[in-house]
Structure 1
Amino acid sequence: MSLLTVDSLDAGYGELQILYDVDLFVDDAEYVTVVGPNGAGKSTVMKSVFGLTTYMGGSIEYQGVEISGLDPEEIIHEGVGYVPQTDNVFAPLSVRENLEMGAYIRDSVPEAAFEQVYDRFPILRERADQEAGTLSGGQRQMLAMGRALMLDPDLLLLDEPSAGLAPDLVDEMFDRIDRITDAGTAVLMVEQNAKEALRRCDRGYVLVNGRNRYVDSGEALLDDEQVRRDFLGG
């Protein structure tokens, strides 16, 4: 049984359907990437798994339990973390307060949870008392991921983690995601930097117009001449 199974998913916003019969799965500790042209529905897949879209049909199962129709708080309780592309930190709050918000469903937050995040992102320890809004773009992205990891989820959803980062920070961000998966957390990621995402992931999906177009290992998709020509710039 896969950790996450999306089967024949139809979803959108209000009455506007974006996804049509989308299938994908993520196994334990697996690194899966969704790529495709702008407007393909990539972020809608992510938001649908996290209960942020209008569910129209199909199924979404997490650890064998149907989660389509659940709200985000219920999905967090199931063991899923989510990092949106924008507005992903509370700017007026300190770094530590942001991390506390990541574990808001707990009555109290054990210090070990902070330490685990600080070990993954040492800069957050250094900036623990600093307002999140004053961090650099790369540091804010680390904080957003750290907050989502405060409950030690089995699956982390990442929506365009490299968006807006300076080119010299993109490799560092991908390296940190690699370490998250190496530590046993499965990752489902939507990413604009398709070549680098496919180079690092276990399996990739190419979405076009809200539908599955290709699925294979990241390496195989990079080697596919049609995929390279149509979606990766040759």
Structure 2
Amino acid sequence: MSQQASREASLPDGESGLLAVRDLDAGYGDLQVLSGVDLDVRDGEHVTVVGPNGAGKSTVMKSVFGLTTYMGGSITFAGEAIHERKPEEIIHEGIGYVPQNENVFAGLSVRENLEMGAYVLDEVPEDSLRAVYDRFPILEERDDQKAGSLSGGQQQMLAMGRALMLDPDLLLLDEPSAGLAPDLVDEMFDRIDRINDDGTAVLMVEQNAKEALRRCDRGYVLANGQNSYMDDGDALLADDEVRQQFLGG
């Protein structure tokens, strides 16, 4: 690990993050994917995880949301341990999650999909629905349209909108630009930036590593299920070892 790229491996002494992952071991069944992973997200921060295919990036995301087999270490959110909680419990803590694949209910309308984002409540909060429509006006225009008939970019907006229905403190995004036409990728990143600017912390796994690191506050590079490099996004982009090993030079 380079000296420069590793200097932000953890937060300064005495500073607590919104999300703190420590020495995490996790996987699926008997298959261990992550080994000793550390990661922090401060309140309101935008953090990106990059790395080669099979590095364990999505497994980190799923582990935070309670979708993997916990094998050791800890995950705390707002000071509470969540590494052995179920997703429906984690949602109540203030975390929203947008998976990479199958992230909308294709047979339901746009509005029904958004209402599903608030299924843990007794009734759908109209102010949350209004806030999502204000953020993504195209969704209001297609309120009654089946989600499966939307474009890829519109489906990604719908998936993010559903995750925002409970006004989470932290939004988890797994490969939000995957499958989008090149001309839509920047627009998607811009929307994520605005969500973050409005105060929601973002933890994002992204294949478009250079652009993701340009936009984030801090980045983590994973390889073989372990931390390889951790630093400010700009510092990682400027690090020769990171560029050669993970960013194509």
Does the alignment reach a TM-score above 0.5? yes
CA distance in 2, matches of 1:145, 1:62: 20
What do residues 102-146 of structure 1 show as CA deviations (whole Å, max 9, x unaligned)? 000110112111110011111001111100000000000000000
Aligned partner of 2:119 in structure 1 is 104
Out of 18, 21, 30, the residue aligned to residue 3 of structure 1 is: 18
Gaps of 5+ in 1: none
Gaps of 5+ in 2: 1-15
Runs of 4+ in 1 over 2 A off after TM superposition: none
TM-score, structure 1 length as denominator? 0.99
Out of 224, 228, 231, the residue aligned to residue 216 of structure 1 is: 231
Out of 25, 33, 42, the residue aligned to residue 48 of structure 2 is: 33
2:73 matches 1:58? yes
Aligned partner of 1:72 in structure 2 is 87
> One-letter code of the match for 1:158?
L
CA distance in 2, matches of 1:54, 1:226: 32
Superposed CA RMSD in Å reads: 0.4
Out of 154, 164, 173, the residue aligned to residue 149 of structure 1 is: 164
Give secondary structure in 1 for the equivalent of 2:55.
coil
Give secondary structure in 2 for the equivalent of 1:61.
strand
CA distance in 1, matches of 2:126, 2:92: 20
Counting aligned pairs with the same residue, the percent is: 78
> How many Å apart are 1:178 and its aligned residue?
0.1
Aligned partner of 2:32 in structure 1 is 17
2:154 matches 1:139? yes
> One-letter code of the match for 2:168?
P
CA distance in 2, matches of 1:187, 1:229: 27
